[in-house]
Structure 1
Amino acid sequence: MIVKMRFLNISGPRDDIDRVCEKYLSKYEMQIENAVTELKTTENIMPFVEVNPYREPLAKAEQFAQLLPEDREIRADLSESKDDMLALIRDLNHDYLGLMEDRERLKLKKEELLGKENVLKPFSSLKVDVHKALQYQYMQVRFGRISLDYYRRLEKYLADSLNAIFLEAGKDKGFVYGCYIAANADIAKVDNTFRALHFERIDVTDAYIGTPKEACEKLDQDIEAVQKDIDADEDKITALMKRNAAKLLGARKRLQELADNFDIRKLAARVASEDERDEFYILCGWMSEKDVDALLAETQDDDKISIMVEDERDQYFGDPPTKLENPKVFKPFEMFIKMYGLPAHDEMDPTMFVALTYTFIFGAMFGDLGQGFCLFAIGGILYLTKKINLAGIISIAGIFSMFFGFMFGSVFGFEDIIEARWLRPVSAMTNLPFIGQLNTVFVVAIAFGMALNILVMIFNIINSAKAHDKENMLFSTNGVAGLVFYGFLVLTVVLYMTGHKTPGNVMLVIFLGIPVLLFVFKEPLGNLVEKRHKKMEGGRVMFFVQAFFELFETMLSYFSNTISYVRIGAFAVSHAAMMEVVLMLSGASAGSTNWIIFVIGNIIVCGLEGLVVGIQVLRLEYYEMFSRFYKGTGREFKPFHKQSE
């Protein structure tokens, strides 16, 4: 069902807008429109330019709430006043920034220590006291690394003429780490030689005591101590937030409400005056009729608020938004409607129609008592726990699958467990005049399609009447003319196939010929009944050529649209045939069932064919039914507080 909407204008003193938003509008769903745009003819109208003062503390409250442990027992404390909440956020922010500053300082210190450790680690195997070695009076020590290729050449220099000693510490990724020692008199020559061999100096200071290994152990201890201080700061932050958890959660909730209410100013307008005390605000938007009545009743004694309801607003300022309200069992199917497009305010809501036809056709195409129960159970569990709309649709479709499985006598493909209450899709046949023998489910599927086509034509006539579109209602291929033509054609076919006497030639001319003429002259007749003065474009010849091809397309669409429903019977037959294959592969047909293959086969058929059938039924809904009566040009109703969320 489409909820009836009404347009409101709400006004009052400018400084009273927050009270109105908090006391009244927060209770009701209202789609607020931009008042400056809507009321552009009003004099002295201006937008609000105030900055929302609650967004920054709300952001802090959100940040602090993320630091709380996941504890469902914590309940929000909503007893604090607005000033107390803002003071709480300020105090928490002050303490939090102090702890964060100390933690960042410790992190920098840790990174510095890690950097020193990374410098010393490659030299851990050296048995050299770093502090003493760098303080030698007559010798110089240089730490660094050299690539393996140049290291071989270095060994030759050391063996031949270079007055230096190289102490190797280890190898890593193509480099040799170590240090060389040379006398003060030779250090310049040695440095030049090592530099020529691309020796990379690594700066090791004399601040380390003991060997590199001992220095690394001392650095590890320092790093561990700093990390403990960092963890302590994090524990202090968590404890700080936990002590104020209830008040913090309450502040977050309350600040969100205050921020959302203040944001209404973005869509509100103010009427300027020389005296600011005389300025007033204007809010306008759509609200359901039920909420409008409740709001008017609640505000009747409030002299600071003025509400004006404009019942004919849609005739002058656009169509109202669409809000769907259906029983819970049909609620999941609103997903299909939104995928296609919401109905306009003067259209019928097709949700219930889609729910009934979709599940019924799905069950006929996927008729199996066992597999239907699996769809019903799994879909129902997912819908109840996860609120997945598609799972709810699958669950309801599973009920109809169980029904048709019972009628077909099929349980997980077995057709000897229960008797078929109606027919077996594969073997049931019907003799028809002119055609001969044809599968019964195909005949029933086409007859069902004819009935649906007639029904959706009636829907189109209703929608056209609600939209005051007389041309489409009377002369279109899906209007009264189309209903008479197609209905009489269906009646003739049914009488012929059942062996009854068909209508005479005169009736055929009347009930088929006159609608065809209405199809051809739809545009001029529409101009006549709508009292439009419109000239024929392109001349008479072009008009009749275009009318001929449109008529040909119409007849083709009637035929293709009807035949399209054969897929219902085709999938019912193919499902039974596929399950016969599964039973054969699992050995069930021979009496010795391999249950693993049987279960896997059922899962594959249930998953794969269920997906294909679901898509095919949706195609029938959209292309064969919706195209005849439904436009889906409505816009969704978006209450302001939901937009904020």
Structure 2
Amino acid sequence: MAIKKLAMANIVCPRDRLDETIRDMILLEKCEFIDTFLEINEGDFSIGISEENADEILDMEDIVPLKENKEIKQVIQKLETTMMSLNYKPTVHKKHMYGEHDFEKIKDDVEKLCTNFENQTNEVLQINSEIESLRNLEVIECMKNIDIDLRELIELKYFTLKFGFLTREKAKRISQNYDNIKAIVLHVGTYEEKEVNLILSPKSLDVEMGRILRSTNFVEIDLKDAFLSTPKRMIEHNKNELTKHYQRLDEIQELTKKDIKEKSNFMDILYSKLIMENRIDQVRTKVAVTENFAYLSSWVPEGFTDKIDQTLQKPPETLVTYKKSNEVSSNIPVPTFLKNNAFFKPFEMLVNMYGVPSYNEVDPTLFFGLAYILLFGAMFGDLGQGMVIVLAGLLIRKKVSADFSGILTRIGIGSMFFGIIYDSFFGYENVISSILPLPIYLRPMENINTMLISSIVLGVILVFISYGYSIVNKLRLGDLEEGVFGRNGINGVVLLSSILLLVLKQMTNISVIPSQLLYVLILISVILLVFKQPISNKIKKEERLYEENASSYYIESGFNLFETFLSIISNTISFIRVGAFALNHVGLFIAFHTLATMIGSTGGNIAMFFLGNIIIIGLEGLVVFIQGLRLFYYELFSKYYTGDGVLFTPDKL
């Protein structure tokens, strides 16, 4: 559960084996190709220097990039158009992508296939075009009660009729300027939340009205080729025409059903190969070639190199060399390969919303997942409602992303756990304790001080963990100034600990360390915060003690010191909202129970039970979800997490 190490693979293969090599690597789904010229221009492209490789090295003098083959997308579009006209949905199979690929042959096969179905395709395209035109005229429905012949209006000798959509605001603006506009604007109805208007104006003013209507974003509905009569007759005619078109589409599909069945496997093969060809072509634009050889660069997981060797070493002419990420030029960013187990993987989505971890950072997903489940559960603790959230996550799994549904199921489990601790089942207390009489229950309203103090203690623990992440990240990057002397480094831990121990003594009279020593530690921490840059530069034996001039540095240090003490107070106190939301959760239930009592009937009680739970799950659940993110993003991530990385995205189908 961490950021996995990546290696840079430099591959040289005969040019006539390039497509096969790219295809095999795409099917491995663990290779992210980069522009090979980035490596070549940096002088980092690696070929094992030996007599056997002399030709490949000398050949690099005439190296050039490959261009995109735009013809592939045209062929794909042509095949898709034919299959769509046949109402056939192809299936992409990897098994069809192996073996030799000859694009010219694939193109010829597509051409023959499309020619066989050309008549059906053309007819279907024409019918679909006519259906779309008729669908656009469904707006006439809003005029069905108006007995007027639109043909007569359109054929007026001295007037122009325009029919289309205007927003209410724009129509109102026109009506307010009737003195300046020589036209009749008639609102005839509303269609799909759009306002339909008839506009009649003198033909001599067509140019002026065109300018005015463009300024109002008027969307005209073209009636030139439509059957024109009264709206009622037009609606009836359009429905009849639509019925005829749909019947004809069914007839075409029935007539071609046998041919489709016979050629379905052939179409699947062609489409699968074209999808792979298109994917290969996207990678080709990152490849460098000479007359005889092709040169590729790709990020691969370090533990996957044996599999790549096994796949690519079949042709003996293919050469593969690897470099560790720290051996690659700093001008080529190393992507981040996140690898978490199935339980915590969904939380990668929320971590990446803030920013992708840098390659050298510690992956915070495990910490985030555990703490977020804990925070959400503590703020939204209810066994029954937690079960609803888990069920919702399972039900929407196929309709939304697996990550989001996974997050719902996990925070729902947290809510269920704390619901048992709070003895709350759909807002009713003492239900769980009556079934399981255990000494584990902590009802929020009966323990307000305990809830608030526990929230702050939880916040302090999470803040200290975030300091630990910060120290590791800074020291990994060699940032001595922030890792040791900074406010989020070792010095910051000492300062926060000293202040908390002083507060503890003032509030409880418990003395862990003598107060005099704590004051000394705080003073030392403050001094180190102020002089952190010159001290760290002195230790590292840098030529300059300050990045800028000394006066600017110390002015900035003064403000940073003030901000440090403010953040120490706000970061810890901010977690009191965890307890506050737990109390608020119970308070909302009390409000709905009170309303149910005021109604004073069984039906009213049942209605308020369902209404209350729906509102609390939907509204308060969303607020608590956001508050949990806020606590992490602002109080914790801001201390140790930069999120400046780029995700490792392997090239695959």
* 1:611-622 alignment runs, 5 A limit: 611-622=622-633
Q: CA deviation at 1:604?
A: 0.5
Q: One-letter code of the match for 1:34? A: D
Q: 1:551 to 1:239 in 2, by over 3 A?
A: same
Is residue 2:78 matched to residue 1:60? Answer: yes
Query: Which amino acid in the other structure matches residue 612 of structure 2?
Result: G
Corresponding residue for residue 252 of structure 1: 271
Q: Rg larger in 1 or in 2?
A: 1
Residue 58 of structure 1: how far off its partner (Å): 2.7
In the alignment, the residues of structure 2 paired with residue 461 and residue 560 of structure 1 have an alpha-carbon distance, to the nearest angstrom, of 21
Are 2:109 and 1:88 equivalent residues in the alignment?
A: yes
Q: Following TM superposition, by how much is the alpha carbon of 1:267 offset from its aligned partner in structure 2, in angstroms?
A: 0.6
1:292 corresponds, among 305, 321, 324, to 305
Q: Does 1:523 align with 2:536?
A: no
Residue of structure 2 equivalent to 1:333 = 347
Structure 2: tracts of 5 or more residues without a match: 44-59, 132-150, 158-197, 199-239, 434-438
The alpha carbon displacement at 1:317 in A equals 3.6
Letter in 2 for 1:22: R
Q: Which of these residues, 624, 633, 638, is aligned with residue 649 of structure 2?
A: 638
Compute the displacement of 1:260 (Å).
1.8
Q: Deviations over 1:302-353 (max 9, x none)?
A: 3210111122334544331012111111111111111111101100111111
1:44 pairs, out of 43, 62, 66, with 62
Q: Percent identity?
A: 30
Task: Judge conservation of contact 2:25–2:308 (CA < 8 Å) in 1.
Answer: yes
Which range moves more in the overlay, 484-493 or 283-292?
Answer: 484-493
Aligned to 1:361: 375
Q: Equivalents in 1 of 2:359, 2:154: separation in Å?
A: 79
Q: 2:294 aligns with which of 259, 281, 288?
A: 281
Q: Matches of 1:588 and 1:329 in 2, distance apart?
A: 45
Q: 2:445 aligns with which of 409, 422, 426?
A: 426
Aligned residue identity for 1:59: Q
- Bigger shift: 7-16 or 418-427? 418-427
How far apart in 2 are the matches of 1:448 and 1:335? 24
| Counterpart residue type for residue 29 of structure 1 | K
AA partner of residue 598 (structure 1): F
Which residue number corresponds to residue 359 of structure 2?
Answer: 345
Q: How does 1:370-385 map to 2 (within 5 A)?
A: 370-383=384-397
Structure 1 range deviating more: 5-14 or 288-297: 288-297
- Cα distance between partner residues in 2 of 1:315 and 1:511: 43
Post-superposition Cα deviations, 1:391-440, rounded to whole Å, max 9, x if no partner, equal 221221111111111111111111232337232212215xxxxxxxxx21
How far residue 224 of structure 1 moved from its aligned partner, in angstroms, is 11
Q: Deviations over 1:216-252 (max 9, x none)?
A: xxxxx99999998887556545554343112101210
Q: Secondary structure, in 3 states, of the residue corresponding to 1:640?
A: coil
Q: Which moved more, 1:394-403 or 1:346-355?
A: 394-403
Q: 1:108 to 1:587 in 2, by over 3 A?
A: closer
Q: Which residue of 2 aligns with 1:572?
A: 582
Give per-residue Cα distances to partners, 1:495-517, cap 9 Å, x unaligned: 55444235324412332111111
Alpha-carbon distance in 2 for matches of 1:306, 1:268: 15
The one-letter amino acid paired with 1:58 is I
1-side partners of 2:249 and 2:594: how far apart? 68
Query: Does the alignment pair 1:26 with 2:27?
Result: yes
Cα gap change, 1:75 to 1:450, in 2 (>3 Å): closer
1:513 to 499, 508, 523: 523
Write the distance in 1 (CA, Å) between the matches of 2:346 and 2:300.
24
Q: Which amino acid aligns with 2:11?
A: I
CA distance in 2, matches of 1:341, 1:636: 10
User: Which residue identity does 1:284 align to in structure 2?
Assistant: S
2:11 corresponds to which residue? 10
Residue equivalent to 1:162? none
Shift of 1:81: 7.6
Q: Distance in 2 between matches of 1:280 and 1:147?
A: 68
Looking at structure 2, the residues matched to 406 and 541 of structure 1 have their Cα atoms a distance apart, in angstroms, of 58
Q: Answer yes or no: is 1:392 the counterpart of 2:411.
A: no
- The verdict on how the C-alpha distance between 1:613 and 1:224 changes in structure 2, with shifts beyond 3 A counting, is closer
Give 1:306's aligned amino acid: L
Distance of aligned partners of 1:71 and 1:554 in 2 relative to their CA distance in 1, 3 Å threshold: closer
Question: Paired residue for 2:457, among 447, 452, 463?
Answer: 447
Q: Residue 559 of structure 1 aligns to a residue in which SS? A: helix
Question: C-alpha distance in 2, partners of 1:504/1:402?
Answer: 43
The separation in 1 between residues aligned to 2:280 and 2:246, in whole angstroms, is: 45
**SS of aligned partner of 2:425:** coil
Residue 604 of structure 1 corresponds to 615
CA distance in 2, matches of 1:148, 1:385: 51
Amino acid at match of 2:276: E
Structure 1 gap segments, 5+ residues each = 111-143, 151-172, 174-220, 430-438
Q: What is the CA-CA distance between 1:149 and the residue it aligns to?
A: 12
Question: Which residue number corresponds to residue 161 of structure 1?
Answer: none
Q: Secondary structure at the match of 2:496?
A: helix
Please tell me whether the aligned partners of residues 68 and 245 of structure 1 are also in contact (alpha carbons under 8 angstroms): no
> Could you tell me which amino acid in structure 2 is paired with residue 360 of structure 1?
L
**How far off its partner does 1:53 sit?**
5.5
Cα deviation for residue 475 of structure 1 reads: 0.7
Please give the residue correspondences for 1:62-141 in structure 2 after superposition, counting only pairs within 5 Å.
62-69=80-87, 78=96, 85-100=106-121
- What is the TM-score normalised by the length of structure 2? 0.72
Shift of 1:360: 0.5
Check the 8 A contact 1:359/1:396 in 2, yes or no: yes
Task: Please tell me whether residue 459 in structure 1 is matched to residue 459 in structure 2.
Answer: no
**Which amino acid is 1:47 matched to?**
P
Instruction: For 1:143-158, list aligned pairs within 5 A.
Output: none
Deviation at 1:62, TM superposition (A): 2.5
The code of the aligned residue for 1:453 comes to: V
Question: Who is 2:569 aligned against?
Answer: 559
Task: Identify if the C-alpha distance between structure 1 residues 600 and 290 changes in structure 2 by more than 3 Å, giving closer, same or farther.
Answer: same
Task: Give the counterpart letter for 1:410 in structure 2.
Answer: S
Q: For 1:2-49, what per-residue CA distance to the aligned partner results, in whole angstroms no more than 9, with x for missing partners?
A: 121111111122222122223444324211111123312564321123
1:30–1:287 contact (8 Å) kept in structure 2: yes
CA, structure 1 residues 232+340, in 2 after alignment: closer, same or farther (shift >3 Å)? same
Paired with 1:486 and 1:295, the residues of 2 have a C-alpha distance of: 50
Task: Give the Cα–Cα distance (whole angstroms) in 1 for the partners of residues 154 and 280 of structure 2.
Answer: 68
Would you say the 8 A contact 1:34–1:267 is kept in 2? yes
Per the alignment, in what secondary structure is the counterpart of residue 324 of structure 1?
A: strand
Is the CA contact 1:454–1:487 (under 8 Å) kept in the aligned structure 2? no
Match of 1:309 among 319, 322, 328: 322
CA offsets 1:459-495 (integer angstroms, 9 cap, x no match): 1011112212111110110101001111232233335
What's the CA shift for 1:86? 4.4
Between the two proteins, the alignment pairs up a number of residues equal to 525
Instruction: State the 1:620 CA deviation.
Output: 0.3
Answer whether contact 1:471 1:529 (CA < 8 A) is retained: no
Residue of structure 2 in register with 1:124 after alignment: none
* CA displacement, residues 559-600 of structure 1 (integer Å, 9 cap, x when unaligned): 011110010011011111111111111129989661012111
Give the conservation status (yes or no) of the 8 Å contact 2:502–2:515: no
* SS of alignment partner, residue 315 of structure 2: coil
Q: CA 1:543–1:400 in structure 2 vs 1: closer, same or farther (change >3 Å)?
A: same
Structure 2 residue aligned with 1:409: 423
Cα separation, 2, equivalents of 1:304 and 1:239:
47
CA distance in structure 1 between the aligned counterparts of 2:128 and 2:590, rounded to whole angstroms: 69
The answer to whether the 8 A contact 1:76-1:248 is kept is no
**How far off is 1:547 after superposition?**
2.2
Distance across 1 between alignment mates of 2:506 and 2:154: 97
